[in-house]
Amino acid sequence: MTGKRHAFTLIELLVVIAIIALLLSILMPALSRVKKQARAIACQMNLHQWSLIWKLYCDDNNGYWLSGHYQGGSSGQGSGRWWFRPITELYTVEEKIRVCPQATKPRASGNIGNWVNHAWQTGTRGTPNYYVGSYGPNGWMCNVPAGLSSMWGRSPTSDHWRTPNVKKAYNIPMFTGMWWVDAWPRHNDPPADITTAITGTVNAQEMQRVCVNRHGGFQNTVFCDFSARKVGLKQLWTLQWSRSFDINGPWTRAGGAAPDDWPQWMRKFKDY
**pLDDT, average across residues 221-246:** 97
Would 9 be classed as within a structural domain?
no
Give me the percent of the chain exceeding a pLDDT of 90.
54
Would 1 be classed as within a structural domain?
no
The pTM (predicted TM-score) of the whole model is 0.84
d(Cα 82, Cα 158) in Å, to the nearest integer?
A: 20
- Using one digit for the tens of pLDDT, what is the confidence trace for 130-189? 899 999 999 999 999 888 888 888 889 999 999 999 999 999 999 999 988 999 999 999
Would 8 be classed as within a structural domain?
no
Domain count, the chain: 1
Segments forming the whole domain that contains residue 228: 15-266
- Using one digit for the tens of pLDDT, what is the confidence trace for 257-269? 999 999 999 999 9
Q: Report H helices in 61-192.
A: 81-90
The neighbouring-strand residues paired with 120 are 133
d(Cα 110, Cα 113) in Å, to the nearest integer?
A: 9
User: 3-state DSSP call for residue 170?
Assistant: helix
d(Cα 199, Cα 42) in Å, to the nearest integer?
A: 28
Would 5 be classed as within a structural domain?
no
Would 113 be classed as within a structural domain?
yes
d(Cα 146, Cα 98) in Å, to the nearest integer?
A: 31
